[in-house]
Amino acid sequence: MLEDGSYLSTFVPSVSPGLAPGPGLDALNAAAVLYLSDSLSTLDKKNPTVVDLFPWIRGQLNKATTEAIYGKKNPFRDPAVQEAWYAFEPLIMVHMLKAWPSVIARKSLRAREQILIPAFERYFAQDGHLQGSVLAQGRYEHNTSHGLRGRDVAATEIGQLVASLVNSVGSAFWMVYHIFSDSSVLSDCRNEVERLVQQDDDGTCTLDLSMLKSSCPVLMSTWQETLRRYCHDRYAGPAY
């Protein structure tokens, strides 16, 4: 049993306001969807466009997620930080198991120590989290309340970011892959979503995301089946 006031026992309550149903989670979702909407609008203007599916989805989801969490001073706006994450992430388990990363994961370790941690150190030193999400603020307050400072806060944030980025990218890839691999499923999903789109007199289209679960059975069942089939893997995306 965890002692009252311990780091682990207080972690969940500290991040709940940012992840539990309510204003904190709504703000995260809205910011991520806004980024994706703007990005997809830009892509549409380049029609026809060919993308390498996995790297494209990875980039879109990573940027949307980090923008939503970290706000205007998001460290991932720096391409060097984004590339450092791609170098670090495939060998996360080596770091977690402390399996001699300085020997068998040198590039990953260098990306973490020399780029990712310093970037987040600057982010918190500049109070970037105050312009970020409730989740970012909650994690920072939790860490500092337990005595972490400077580089230790930044290093801890890297570990906590793993939960936000790793599994979601792989799951999203496989869902999109399977939908676009089956013309019938693609048509069904499109029809379900299009029925929820409302167009204003000025041409603005809006979609109430809360309606997806109750009004898009094919889309939601595809998502559930994707999770059932691939969630046993640590990382569901193809090797890169």
The whole-number pLDDT of residue 80 equals 97
b/e map of 113-139 (b: 16 or more CB within 10 Å)? bebbbbbbbebbeeebbeebbbbbbbb
The whole-number pLDDT of residue 3 equals 55
pLDDT in tens, the chain (240 residues): 445 789 888 998 999 999 898 999 999 999 999 999 888 888 766 677 888 999 999 999 999 999 999 999 999 999 999 999 999 998 888 888 888 888 888 999 999 999 999 999 999 999 999 999 999 999 999 999 999 999 999 999 998 888 888 888 989 999 999 999 999 999 999 999 999 999 888 888 888 888 888 999 999 999 999 998 886 554 444 443
Enumerate residues 6+ apart whose C-beta is below 8 A from 89.
108, 162, 165, 166
Distance between CA atoms of 18 and 11, rounded to whole angstroms? 12
In DSSP terms, which residues pair with 207 in a beta bridge? 197
The whole-number pLDDT of residue 238 equals 46
The whole-number pLDDT of residue 97 equals 82
Contacts made by residues 146-154, CB under 8 angstroms, sequence distance 24+: 146/7, 146/10, 150/121, 150/125, 151/117, 151/121, 153/120, 153/121, 153/124, 154/117, 154/118, 154/119, 154/120, 154/121, 154/123, 154/124
pTM recorded for the entire structure: 0.86
Burial class (CB in 10 A: 0-12, 13-18, 19+), 8: exposed
In DSSP terms, which residues pair with 16 in a beta bridge? none
The whole-number pLDDT of residue 95 equals 84
Query: What residue ranges do the domains of the chain occupy?
Result: 7-169
